[in-house]
C-alpha cells in the first residue's frame, strides 16, 4: 500500500465536496464507450437536505452502474451538469445511480438507487434523494423478510425505524411538487432506513454467530511491518490480538538490485512469529503498482516480465515452503496497478503464472487473488492511482469473473476494505456479491481512523472526509471495528480479516488507523476487539 492509492480513496470519500466533479468537468466530461449503445437521455435531479438544488460542482461524482447482477459501475457517458440536475445519455440496459451524500443524523455515505432492481431507463426524470430513500427502504424490507423467515429475533426499535421510514417516504411523495417540503422528508426516511439496515445486519450476524458457535481456524490478522523496529513490546501486544500476520514482499524494495533479494528482514519477522505461534502470509508475490515494479525492470518485454516473475515466485515460495502457508499471489490486477501497461489479457496471464508458480513451489500454500476499490467507482471516471486512463477499465468483479472463466486455479479472493463511506448493510451486500463467485473470502487490508486530525506520521496525512455516525474518534473507530468484525465473522464465506496497520508509530498507511497509539498504548479499539474474540471463543 502506498500513498498514491490513498489519494484515490480520498477522492471518493470527498465526493460531496465536489473534487471529482471539478476533475470530470475539466476533462470535458467526455463520453466513454461506443455510441451505438446509447439511445437517449435521462435527467437526474438532486437537492441538498433542505431542498435546495445541489451545486453542479458537487454532481460530477455521480455515476451510473448496472442495475442488476454485479452492479458494476459504468464509464461516464456524455452528460450535462447544472445546479440541481444531471442530463445524461444512458445505454440500452437499465441503470442505477450512485452518489455520496451527507445524511444528517447518520453520516457521510455513498448511496445507491436502482428502483428495487428494475433500474432506470431513457426518458425518465428522477429525483435522486427520493430514489435513494426508496431503494434503501426496499433493501431493508428484503433483509427484514429474510430475517423473519430465518426466525431471527429482532429488536422492536428496528421495526419502529422501518415503519417510520415508510411513513416519511409517503409524506415526501405527497409533497413531491415542492422540493423544499418533500426532500427533507425523504432524507429523514433515508436516515431511518440506514439505521434500520445496520441494526438488521448486526442482529442477523449475532444470531448466526450464536447459532454456529466458535469458528476454528478463523484468521484474525494484521501486517507485522512494525517489527523489529518497534521492539518486543510491539510483538507481545500483537500476539494478544492476532493469530495471523502479513509479511512484506514488495518487489521494488525486496530486490532493489537485480539478483540480490533481501530475505533478512522477512526471515527475522517470520522467526519471531513462529515463536509466538502466529501464522504468516506473504504479500504480494506479484503487483504491477510502482511499489511492485523494480526500476531495473523498466522497459522489459512482457515475456521478460513473465520469466522474471516466475523465477521470483519460485525462489520465495520454495525458500519458505511449509513456513508461510498463505500468499497474496497477485495484487490489484483489475487494471488498478498496471505500470508496465499490460493488456487485460496479459494481466490475466500474469494471474495464471502467479497462481501456478506458487502451487508448483508449495502445493499446500493458500493462493489469494487480491483486489482493491471493491465498489469499482474508478471505472466510472476511468481513473486509477496514475490518473486518467486511455482505455476502459475493469471492476474487481469483472476481473475475477475473467480469471474464473479462464480456469485459473486459486484458493481465495482477497478484499481490501478501506471504505468508511459505506454503511454496514452496503458492506455486507458487497461481501455477498464476491461470495457469489464461489471462493472463500479473505479481507486482506482495512482501516479506519481514530481521529479526524491530520496525522503527520502516516503515508496519507489527512483522514477521510467521510465519517460514519460521527467524526472519527477512538470510540467511533472502536464501534466501526466491532460492527465490521461481527459482520465478517458471521459471514460463511469470510475466513480471514487483516487490519492495516497495528500501531500509529510512523510509516503506517491509514491516518490514525492503528490499534495502538504512537506511544504503543492500546486504543479503545484494541480492548473492544479483544473482548469480542474472547466472547466468540466461548459462544454456546
- Cell 445486519 belongs to 201
Backbone angles phi, psi at 4, to 5 degrees: -60, -45
CATH number for position 505? 3.20.20.80
Residue 232 placed within a domain: no
Q: Average the pLDDT over 494-498 and give the result.
A: 98
- Cell 530475505 belongs to 263
Distance CA 440, CA 261 (A): 32
Residue 13 has pLDDT above 80, yes or no: no
Cell of residue 79, nine digits: 452528460
- Pick from 17, 33, 71, 101: which is nearest to 374 by CA? 71
Q: Average the pLDDT over 318-325 and give the result.
A: 98
CB under 8 Å to 365, separation ≥6 — which residues? 317, 321, 324, 325, 326, 327, 358, 359
| Residue-wise DSSP of 516-529 | B-TTS-B-HHHHHH
Residue 133 placed within a domain: yes
Residue 29 has pLDDT above 50, yes or no: no
Residue 329 placed within a domain: no
**SS3 assignment for 37-49:** HEEEEEEEECECC
Q: Average the pLDDT over 235-264 and give the result.
A: 97
Question: If pLDDT is split at 50, 70 and 90, which confidence band does 471 have?
Answer: very high
What is the SS3 assignment for 416? strand
Q: According to the model, what pLDDT value does residue 418 have?
A: 86
Q: Average the pLDDT over 1-14 and give the result.
A: 38
Residue 16 placed within a domain: yes
Q: According to the model, what pLDDT value does residue 191 have?
A: 98
Distance CA 49, CA 334 (A): 36
Please check whether residues 222 and 132 belong to one and the same domain.
Answer: no
Host domain of residue 494: 213-226+411-540
Average pLDDT taken over every residue of the chain: 91
- Cell 457517458 belongs to 77
Q: According to the model, what pLDDT value does residue 467 have?
A: 87
Q: According to the model, what pLDDT value does residue 37 have?
A: 46
Please check whether residues 184 and 82 belong to one and the same domain.
Answer: yes
Question: If pLDDT is split at 50, 70 and 90, which confidence band does 39 have?
Answer: low
Distance CA 297, CA 285 (A): 15
Residue 183 placed within a domain: yes
**SS3 assignment for 266-325:** HHHHHHHHHHHCCEEEEECCCECCHHHCCHHHCCCCHHHHHHHHHHHHHHHHHHCCCCCC
Q: What is the domain count for the chain?
A: 2
Question: If pLDDT is split at 50, 70 and 90, which confidence band does 298 have?
Answer: very high
pTM confidence score? 0.91
Residue 349 has pLDDT above 90, yes or no: yes
- Maximum Cα–Cα distance for the chain, whole Å? 72
Asked which of 178, 209, 240 is the last residue of a domain, the reply is 209
| Residue-wise DSSP of 119-153 | -B-TT-EEEHHHHHHHHHHHHHHHHHHHHHHTT--
Task: Report helix angle 231-241 to 264-276, nearest 10.
Answer: 50
Asked which of 149, 183, 209 is the last residue of a domain, the reply is 209
Q: What digits encode the pLDDT tens for the residues 333-343? A: 999 989 999 99
Q: Is the dihedral of CA 42, 47, 52, 55 positive or negative?
A: negative
| Residue-wise DSSP of 105-120 | TTEEEEEEE-TTTT-B
Q: What digits encode the pLDDT tens for the residues 162-192? A: 999 999 999 999 999 999 999 999 999 999 9
- Least reliable range by pLDDT among 455-459, 497-501, 531-535: 455-459
Asked which of 209, 234, 250 is the last residue of a domain, the reply is 209
Please check whether residues 189 and 204 belong to one and the same domain.
Answer: yes
- Least reliable range by pLDDT among 2-11, 222-231, 248-257, 394-403: 2-11
Please check whether residues 21 and 42 belong to one and the same domain.
Answer: yes
Residue 236 placed within a domain: no
Q: According to the model, what pLDDT value does residue 93 have?
A: 84
- Pick from 415, 451, 446, 450: which is nearest to 332 by CA? 415
- Pick from 124, 140, 143, 115: which is nearest to 45 by CA? 124
H/E run at residue 443: strand 441-446
Q: Is the dihedral of CA 247, 253, 257, 262 positive or negative?
A: negative
| Rounded percentage of the chain residues whose pLDDT exceeds 90 | 85
Please check whether residues 146 and 71 belong to one and the same domain.
Answer: yes
Q: According to the model, what pLDDT value does residue 144 have?
A: 96
Please check whether residues 38 and 86 belong to one and the same domain.
Answer: yes
Amino acid at each position: 500500500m502506498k500513498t498514491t492509492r490513498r489519494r484515490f480513496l480520498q477522492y471518493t470519500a470527498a465526493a460531496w465536496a465536489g473534487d471529482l466533479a471539478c476533475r470530470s468537468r475539466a476533462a470535458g466530461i467526455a463520453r466513454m464507450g461506443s455510441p451505438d449503445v446509447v439511445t437517449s437521455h435521462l435527467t437526474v435531479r438532486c437537492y441538498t437536505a433542505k431542498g435546495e438544488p445541489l451545486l453542479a460542482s458537487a454532481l460530477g461524482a455521480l455515476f451510473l452502474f448496472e442495475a442488476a447482477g454485479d452492479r458494476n459501475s459504468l464509464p461516464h457517458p456524455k452528460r450535462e451538469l447544472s445546479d440541481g440536475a444531471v442530463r445524461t445519455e444512458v445505454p440500452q440496459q437499465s441503470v442505477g445511480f450512485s452518489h455520496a451524500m451527507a445524511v444528517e443524523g447518520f453520516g457521510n455515505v455513498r448511496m445507491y438507487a436502482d428502483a428495487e432492481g428494475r433500474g432506470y431507463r431513457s426518458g425518465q426524470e428522477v429525483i435522486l434523494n427520493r430514489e435513494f430513500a426508496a431503494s434503501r427502504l426496499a433493501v431493508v424490507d428484503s433483509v427484514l423478510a429474510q430475517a423473519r423467515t430465518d426466525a431471527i429475533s429482532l429488536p422492536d426499535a428496528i421495526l419502529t425505524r422501518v415503519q417510520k421510514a415508510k411513513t416519511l417516504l409517503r409524506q415526501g411523495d405527497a409533497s413531491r411538487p415542492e422540493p423544499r417540503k418533500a426532500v427533507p422528508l425523504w432524507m429523514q426516511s433515508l436516515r431511518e432506513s440506514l439505521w434500520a439496515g445496520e441494526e438488521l445486519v448486526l442482529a442477523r450476524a449475532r444470531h448466526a454467530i450464536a447459532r454456529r458457535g466458535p469458528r476454528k481456524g478463523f484468521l484474525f490478522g494484521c501486517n507485522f511491518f512494525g517489527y523489529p523496529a518497534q521492539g518486543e513490546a510491539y510483538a507481545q501486544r500483537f500476539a494478544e490480538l492476532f493469530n495471523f500476520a502479513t509479511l512484506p514482499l514488495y518487489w521494488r524494495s525486496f530486490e532493489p538490485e537485480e539478483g540480490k533479494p533481501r530475505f533478512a528482514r522477512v526471515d527475522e519477522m517470520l522467526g519471531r512469529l513462529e515463536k509466538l505461534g502466529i501464522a504468516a502470509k506473504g504479500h504480494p508475490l506479484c503487483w504491477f503498482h510502482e511499489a511492485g515494479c523494480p526500476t531495473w525492470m523498466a522497459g522489459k518485454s512482457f515475456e521478460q516480465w513473465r520469466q522474471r516473475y516466475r523465477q521470483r515466485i519460485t525462489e520465495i515460495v520454495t525458500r519458505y515452503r511449509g513456513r508461510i502457508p498463505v500468499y497474496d499471489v497477485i495484487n490489484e490486477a483489475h487494471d488498478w496497478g498496471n505500470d508496465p501497461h499490460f493488456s487485460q489479457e496479459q494481466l490475466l496471464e500474469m494471474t495464471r503464472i502467479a497462481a501456478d508458480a506458487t502451487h508448483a513451489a508449495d502445493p499446500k500454500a493458500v493462493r489469494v487473488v487480491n483486489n482493491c476499490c471493491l465498489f469499482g467507482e474508478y471505472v466510472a471516471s476511468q481513473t486509477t492511482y496514475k490518473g486518467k486512463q486511455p482505455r476502459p477499465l475493469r471492476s474487481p468483479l469483472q476481473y475475477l469473473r475473467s480469471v474464473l472463466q479462464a480456469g485459473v486455479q486459486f484458493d481465495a479472493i482477497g478484499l481490501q476494505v478501506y471504505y468508511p463511506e459505506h454503511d454496514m448493510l452496503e458492506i455486507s451486500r458487497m461481501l455477498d456479491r464476491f461470495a457469489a463467485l464461489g471462493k472463500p473470502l479473505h479481507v486482506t487490508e482495512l482501516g479506519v481512523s481514530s481521529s479526524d486530525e491530520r496525522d503527520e506520521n502516516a503515508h496519507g496525512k489527512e483522514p477521510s472526509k467521510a465519517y460514519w455516525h460521527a467524526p472519527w474518534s477512538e470510540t467511533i473507530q472502536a464501534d466501526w471495528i466491532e460492527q465490521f468484525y461481527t459482520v465478517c465473522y458471521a459471514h460463511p464465506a469470510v475466513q480471514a480479516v487483516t487490519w492495516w496497520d497495528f500501531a500509529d508509530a510512523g510509516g503506517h498507511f491509514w491516518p490514525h488507523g492503528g490499534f495502538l497509539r504512537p506511544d504503543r498504548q492500546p486504543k479503545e479499539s484494541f480492548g473492544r476487539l479483544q473482548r469480542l474474540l474472547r466472547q466468540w471463543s466461548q459462544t454456546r
